[in-house]
Every structure is written in structure tokens, then in C-alpha cells.
Chains A and B, each alone.
Chain A
Amino acid sequence: MTAITDPPRADFRLGMLWTDTRYRSLTIQVIALILVLLGASYLVSNVLANLAALGKDFSFGILTGPASYDINQRLIEYSSRSSHTTAAVVGMLNTLLVAVMGCLLATIIGVVAGVLRLSNNWLISKLMTVYIETVRNIPVLIQILLLAAVFDEFLPSPRQAGADAHMLGIVATNRGFYIPGPVFGAGSVFVVAALILGIVASVWYGRQAKRIQQETGRLLPVFRVRLALIVGLPLLVWAAIALVAGAPITLAYPELKGFNFDGGIYMRNSLVALWLALSIYTGAFIAENVRAGILSVSKGQTEAAFALGLRANRTMSLVILPQALRVIIPPLISQYLNLTKNSSLAIAVGYMDATGTLGGITLNQTGREFETLLLLMAFYLSISLTISMIMNLYNEQVKLVERTSASGAAFSFSRLFDSMTGPWDTLKKGDAAHQPNFGVASWLNLVVLLYAGMLAAELAYLFLADVPELRIPYFSWTLAEQISFLLLVVFTLATLLTAIFKHFRVVDLAVGTLVLWIVALVCGNQLGALIPALSDPVVIVGCAAAQLAAIAYLVFGARPNVTYFCRVRRED
């Protein structure tokens, strides 16, 4: 019998870099790195040579110059004397406007069409099939152009339209659509306050009702009371003020004045065509997702719910929908993403979105293709990455979890204090030790509010308050200021999202935000100007203190929660 021993380890030879699997992966990666660097440097040197031959350089400075073109559909103050940056912001907001409107309408169309396609009414389901299969297989650009051309060619001129009676105050002309718009008069503050109060009260009432149901099993009327709080309360306040001092909020109807309509809200034909075409197109895809989601819940679930004695609507809301939504929402979100990306087709009908301003007129006027396209891509990329981050967080939250153990593989700041407080475990959904308390109100909401407020202030500082006379525009800051502020915005957003979705990484991101807050100050950013109403030191110190408090709460606070944000002291 011979003893089995490991063969003696061979000395390292150069050939082993390739033949030995221990080293080969390293070799391949180093070679790949070298190849990629070579390729990149080749491309960059080509670009530099080409730019030098044309006498161009690479700088964003031109974007602070006056845009000197007009944008006729806008959400914020803009004139042709504003800077290219402001024009880009107007465009980005227009993109977001059409994207949000499109997502809303597409969801409505998609849900209705998807449900109707499953209807047991033969005619209706066939009609929906025809709609879905027709619209899905025709390029969306053709649909957009068709609608825009039809609006331009076949709608009446404002004078003709003024003569005709129009429905609900909506006027469709070949110059655009006019819809009634609200006018806020004296006392409207109270109505808005009542609305906010109603929303807060309805949330509180919903939680109370749930708690009472959990404790006593008694069902309170939730929907009707919440509806009354949200709709009824503002209406009541409106009516009261209207009786005393005249209506605080009225509707202004468009009226023909001269050659055009005046009053109300004006939407250009290009916006309406883009909005409708994108919604109809994306709605067809959403309809298919909805149908697949509903079909994915097996019939036995309905029957089981009926067998338990649940009524039809509660079966739907408690049994079918939660399971169907798990299947529907991820593809739904990627449809939203597609819609947002497709909204860049606005340039074909002349709607001034980000592509039309930044990638269109600004590019042509300044001749800076690299800079403008880089910014444009960064804009769309940040939207996509934010949406896919939300989707990942959502997926992690709803995914089916089998037995798990307390987590703790990677480093997290919440472990930093373990030596002081004793070891804690971060529980995951499905843990045996998990407390089944559902929807308990926690101070986490304050953390969410804090970071939402910070994000709003930072974005307003970055974009909306961009008036060249008042403040130095972003692209004129020093590089350190630009980078540190941008990172601060990104981290604030990430913290906000993780807090909303109760991901345990919120602690680390909050620490990162605080660090970046200090870094941005050191780099010379005027963070005190974020809130103009307060003095600078108050804003800087107050916000840092609030962040510190939030981190302390996240680390030390007891956080009873449903998902996987629950920490318990480890029992040894």
C-alpha cells in the first residue's frame, strides 16, 4: 500500500500563468485590462487629434452663455436670454412632465385593456386583442407622427373652434389644446391646508383602523371615511369660504380673444400627440403584463378564498391582487422606463424635451456635440438607474423568502457600535425571530421626510433656482464643488430610497451623506444657501445635527418593522 500524499508543489514557472487555473483568471484579467486601456487610449487620442484639427476643446463653459432661442412649452421661468443650462432644465422638466402624464394614462389604458381582454365577453376580448396586437406591432414613431399630423391638419383653427360648442371647456384647435385651469384666489391657502390635513388624517385613520382590526377583529369602514377626509374636507372648506367671501379656487375657462384662446392651461399639439401616442403604445404592452399577472394566480386561490368565506372584493384585494402585483409590477416599471426613453422621440414633432433642447438646438448652436450628448445621456441614465434601483428594492421586498438566518456578511456601519451595545442581528424577512407586527408607525417616517426635504432643497438649488443674475451656474463652479455637490445629491437620493423601502443599507448611505455634506462644505459649496429663509450657520449645523440624529436613531433605535430592517439583540 502506498500512502496517498499531495504531489510536491512545483515551483512557480512563467508558463503557469496560463496553464495553472490558480493564476489563469488573473492573467486573463490583466491582459483584458491592458487591451481595454489600449483601446480606450487609442479612441481618446483619435478624439483629441480630431478635435485639435477642428480647433475645438472640451469644456462645458459655453453652456452658461445665453441660449437665445425660445421654448414655447415650459414649466419654469425661461426667456431667450436665459442660459443653455436653464434651457436644458426646461427640457428635462418637459421630459419628466410627458413621462409622468404618459405613465399615468398608459397605466389606466393598460389595466382596463388587460382586464377586458380576459373578459368572458367574446366581442370585448376580441376587440382588445385587436387593439393590443395592432398597436404593439406598429413603430411608436409612426403613431406619434400620425397623431401630430392629424392634429395639425384636421383640427379647426381657433376662430372656427370658438364658434363651435366645446365639451367640458376643452378646446381642440390646430394650434393646441386649451383646458380649464384652476385659479388660486384669496383664501386658497386654507383649502390646500385642508387637503394636506385630510391626507394626513386619512393615513392616521387607516393605521388606527388596521390596529383595531388586528387587536379586536372589528372592521371599520376605511374607504368611505378616507375618501370623505381627502375629498370632503377640502370641499367643505371651499364651500365655507365661498359662502363668506367668494370662491377661493375657481376654474378659468379658455376664451377666444382675437385670433387665439386665452385663459386655462395651454398644451401644444406636439405635447398632446406625444402624450396620447406614447400612452396608447405603452398601454398595449402594459395590458399584456396585466393579463399575464392575473393569469399567473391560479384559480385555486380564488376558490380557497371563497371557501374561507371572503367576499368577492376582499378576495380580490387580499388574495388575488397581492399575488398578481408581484408578477405585474417589475415589467410595469420597465414599461415606464421604456416610455420615458421613448419620450425622446419628442424631437420628431418639435416638443422641446431634453433631447429637443440639449441634444437639438443647443447642440446645433454651440457645435459642442461631445458635451451636450454626454449631458443628455447622463440625464437619461440617471433616470433609468433611479428607476431600476427602485425596482430592485421593490423586488427584494416582495420576493418570496424561505427560511433565512440573521444576516451579517458584509460590513455595515450599524455594526460599528456593536462593541458598545453588544452584538445585534439584522433580521431578514422570513426570520423565525421576526416580530409579526404589521405597519407599525415608526420614527423612520421622520428620516424619510428629512432626506426628502434635503433632496428637494438640493435639486432646487441645483436646477430650479438657476438664475444667472442671482447665482453662479453649476458649470461655472470649481471641479471639486461640482463633483462633491453631485455626489451629495446622489447619496441623498439613495438614502431616501433605501429609507422608503426599509433596506438596512440606509444606515451606511446616511453616514455617506453626512460625510459628503462635510466634504461639500470643505470643497467650498455654499450649503447654507440651500434654504434661503434661514441664516447660513443655522442651515449647515442644523441639517448636520438632524442627519446625526437620524443616523443615531437608525443605529440604536428599536425598529419594529415588517421587512428586513429589524434589529434584535443577539442572545448568546
Chain B
Amino acid sequence: MSDVHAQTVAYVAPSQIPPSPPPARERGAMKWFRANLFSSVSNGILTVIAILILAWSLPALIQWAFVDAVWEAGSLSECREIAAARGVEGSFACWAVINERFNQFLFGFYPEELYWRPILAFLLMFAAAAPVLFNQIPRQTLVGSALYPFVAYWLLWGGPVLPVVLAILGPVVGYAAFRGVEKAMEGDAGAAGMVAGALVTVLWWSFVPGLIDGGPGLAPVESARMGGFMLALIIGITGIAASLPFGILLALGRKSDLIFIKTLSVIFIEFIRGVPLITLLFVASSVLNYFFPPGTALDLILRVVIMATLFASAYMAEVIRGGLAALPSGQYEAADSLGLDYWKSMRLIILPQALKISIPGIVNTFIGLFKDTTLVSVIGLLDPVGIINPIRADSNWNGIVWEFYVFVGLFFWVFCFGMSRYSMYLERKLATDHR
């Protein structure tokens, strides 16, 4: 090859030739269409079918829901008159019914002049949740979060303020008992202190707040008047918040070496997960009162919340067990080698990591429970689904079907979809720091 020199070559390009643009079918929208919609014959057919379906359904849907819809009227017949006056043919959405009954969908039959109370409780919830969700907020504000359940209960149900204050003292007394046992056992109390604290708290709650009746407070509202999305939120949020500690204990119990504790946990979890929620709600509505001393008649909402909590805690336990199992066993061994006892190693080493892994699962459990709150309509509570039937039976609105279910479904969809996106975001965020 040594005899090939520059002189013997006929032509050498003095500069690089500029790249020519890709062919028209390989760039821009054209390429995108070919790659994503018409990459093969079958794909093309599918695309055409999909476009036809969309072209047939979407305009009709928009026409029904927005263009032809009637937003303000007093009854279905008035809706029809307004639509006919506008020259609408065929079916149309009569959103007027949602418009008229909007407050019932939100609050049930809660007294109108007291709407500020649930609204305030709802807003306070965000304030209470903030210190739990964000690390930047000073830790001392967690005290406010701990007080929130009592405040919310008082705001929603009203009644004198003194029993609420006494109820707040319950956990304080329980904590004192816990410290007492810790001290008596020289910091080696383990579960005994926790059991003593919980026992003292429950005993305090069952007897002390009932001692005082009367005094200044808010106007009481009975449970039968609660309903709508407020009720769904009450059951869902209480259930999930209360089920978290139970779920952690059950998960620890299921992974425990103590055979009796383990058996108990497994039986409880498998039993609850094996029966449908509706049977548990039947238990709440017809059997649960039998388990309390004669003469006590617990409120139906409270009974439902108890069963929803038990239900969610079994699922929560499985989620957290997954988190515990996902931790490498080196973490357990490291905690042991530091000489920590069981509860200290759980509290300081294992649970913070396991809970972090399980957060997406916990959010999913919450979404599930929140969707399942609609089941309380079957036992006669007036949640958003339960409140549809009385309105449908109203002679003014008799004949309306789609609008109710679309509205209620849309509310649940917005809430659950938002939560599931949040859980996916958390999953991504948490996955990065494991890398």
C-alpha cells in the first residue's frame, strides 16, 4: 500500500461534506406516525379501529357532559324543559341535581350552620400531617399532630370540651405508666412497659372521661347526620391511621420466634384477609355490640371504624412484613451485635428502614381502604354512594342515573389516582437512595 500517495489519488475532498437531511419519512411527525401508529398492517388496522371508536364516543361524551348539559334547575322535568328550549335532542347530563344536592354529597345531613367545623377539621388535618410528612418542620410540632385526633373528634361531634381534655390526658397517663415500669425494671422492660402503658390508657379512656358530663363546649351533632364524602374521609383516614400501629405489631408478631404470639398473629391476619369486608361490616352493624358489657351501645360509625381498622391492620401487617423481609439479614445481625435488645433494635435499626421500604405499599393499602369505605352504604350509612338512593327516590329527580355515579366516581378517581401517583413518586424517590 506504500505506493498509494496523495499524488496518485485523483481527488481528495478539501473539507467534510455537510450531512444531508434524513429522508422525509424518517423524520418529524411522519417518522413518529410510522413508528408508533402504522408500524405494521395489523398495527395500522388497530389504529384505525381505535380512531373510529374515539371519533364515535368522545364527541358524544363531550356533547352529553358539557355542551348539552343543564347546570341549574329545580327538578328533572325542569331540566328537560330547559334542554328542549335550547333545542337539545337525545340525552344530556342534568348536573343540576349535583348542584342542588352538593352539600349533601359533601356533608350528609350535617347542620348547615355548622359546616365550618368539618371544614376546619379538614384544614387542620393538613397542618397535623405536615410534620409527619416533611422533615424540615421543627419536631416539636409533632405534639400538635398527636393532639389532632382529639380536636378533630371534638370539632365533628361537638359536645362539652372537658371530657376531650380528659381523654387527651389518657396517653399522658399511659406514658407515665410506661416510664414507671421502665424505671422499676431498670430500663429492661421491653414489651411489659408498652403493655402497661396501653392498658392504663385504655382503662383511663373507658372510665375517666365519662365522669364529667356537661360544661362549656360545642353544639353536639349526632352520628346519624354525618354522611357524604366527610364520612368516607372519617372512616378511611381513621382506619388507616389507627391500623398502622396494629399492623406493625402484627407484622412483628408474625416474624417473631415466640410460637404462641406468631400463631395468634397468623390466625388473625389470615382470618381477616380471608373474609370479605362486607361480612366484617355486618359484624359491626349487628354483632359487635354483644361483645361489650351489657348496656353499652356504641355508635354505628365507631363500630364501623373499629372493624375498618381491624381490616386494614391485617393488610398493613402483610405490607410491613414485606418491608421487614426485604431488609438484608445483616441489619438484624448488626443490631444484635451492638447489644441492643429486641425493642431497641426494632425501634432504632429495623423499623425505620422497613417502614421506609413499605411506604408505597402503605399508600396502596390506604387507597384500597378508601375505595372500600363505599361498602358502608350497604349497612345503611349515608356515604356518597349511600346518599344516592334517597336522592334517586326523590320524585323531583327520579330517572337520573349516570350523573350521580359519574360525579361520585370522579371524586374517588381524583383522590385515588392522585394518591397512586404520589406513591409512585415516593417509590422512585426512595429507590434512588438505595443505589
Listed in ascending order, the chain A residues whose CB lies under 8 Å from chain B are: 18-19, 25, 28-29, 32-33, 35-36, 43, 46-47, 49-51, 53, 119-124, 127, 133-134, 136-143, 145-146, 149-150, 153-154, 341-342, 344-345, 347-348, 355, 359, 363, 369-370, 373, 376-377, 380-381, 384-385, 388
Asked if B294 contacts A49 (CB within 8 A), the reply is yes
- Among B4-12, B115-123, B125-133, B278-286, which stretch is in contact with chain A? B278-286
Contact with A along B369-411 (1 / 0, CB 8 A): 0011011011000000100100000000001011001001100
Whether A380 pairs with B409 at a CB distance below 8 angstroms is no
Most chain-A Cβ atoms within 10 A of its Cβ — which of B367, B385, B405?
Answer: B405
Interface size class of B (residues with CB under 8 A): 35 or more
Is B138 an interface residue when CB atoms closer than 8 A count as contact? no
Interface contact B270-A127, CB-CB below 8 Å: no
Min CB distance, B214 to chain A, in Å?
Answer: 29
In the assembly, what is the distance between CA of A49 and CA of B294, in Å?
A: 7
The answer to whether A355 and B278 touch across the interface, beta carbons within 8 angstroms, is yes
Query: CA of A19 to CA of B192 in the docked complex: distance in angstroms?
Result: 12
Determine if A344 and B276 form an interchain contact, defined as CB atoms under 8 angstroms apart.
Answer: yes
Q: List 29 A-B contacts (CB under 8 A).
A: A28-B191, A29-B258, A29-B259, A47-B290, A53-B294, A120-B35, A120-B36, A120-B39, A121-B39, A123-B50, A124-B47, A137-B420, A140-B371, A141-B374, A141-B375, A142-B385, A145-B385, A146-B402, A150-B401, A150-B402, A341-B277, A342-B276, A348-B377, A369-B282, A373-B287, A377-B271, A380-B275, A380-B276, A384-B274
Q: Give A570 to B145 CA distance when docked, in angstroms.
A: 66
B258 cross-chain contacts in A, Cβ below 8 A: 25, 28-29, 32
Assuming the contacts A18-B185, A127-B50, A139-B371, asked whether A121 and B36 have C-beta atoms less than 8 A apart, the reply is yes
The 9 closest A-B pairs by CB, nearest first: A384-B274, A122-B36, A137-B416, A341-B276, A146-B405, A344-B276, A139-B371, A139-B374, A369-B286
Q: Which chain A residues border B264 with CB–CB below 8 Å?
A: 32, 36
Distance, CA A140 to CA B367, complexed state (A) = 13
Asked if B188 is an interface residue, CB under 8 A from chain A, the answer is yes
Contacts of A32 in B (CB 8 A): 258, 260-261, 264
Cα A444 to Cα B195 with chains together (Å): 53
Q: How far is the CB of B195 from chain A (nearest CB, A)?
A: 8
Describe A's contact surface by its main secondary structure: helix
Cross-chain contact A373 with B375 (CB below 8 angstroms): no
Given contacts A127-B54, A345-B375, A380-B279, 7 further A-B contacts (CB under 8 A): A32-B258, A139-B374, A141-B385, A341-B275, A355-B278, A381-B275, A384-B274
With the chains together, A119 CA to B40 CA distance in Å? Answer: 12
A363–B291 CB distance below 8 A: no
> Contacts of B274 on A, CB cut-off 8 Å?
380-381, 384-385
- CB neighbours of B416 from chain A (8 A): 136-138
CB distance from A503 to the nearest CB of B (A): 20
Residues of B within 8 A of A29 (CB): 258-261
In the complex, what's the smallest C-beta–C-beta distance from A224 to chain B, in angstroms? 23
The answer to whether A137 and B417 have CB atoms under 8 Å apart is yes
Q: Which residue of chain B has its CB nearest to the CB of A36?
A: B264
Could you tell me if A146 and B409 are in contact, using CB atoms closer than 8 angstroms? yes
What is the CB-to-nearest-CB distance from B248 to chain A, in angstroms, rounded to a whole number? 17
Q: Which residue of B lies closest to A387 (CB)?
A: B274
Shortest C-beta distance, B113 to chain A (Å), equals: 31
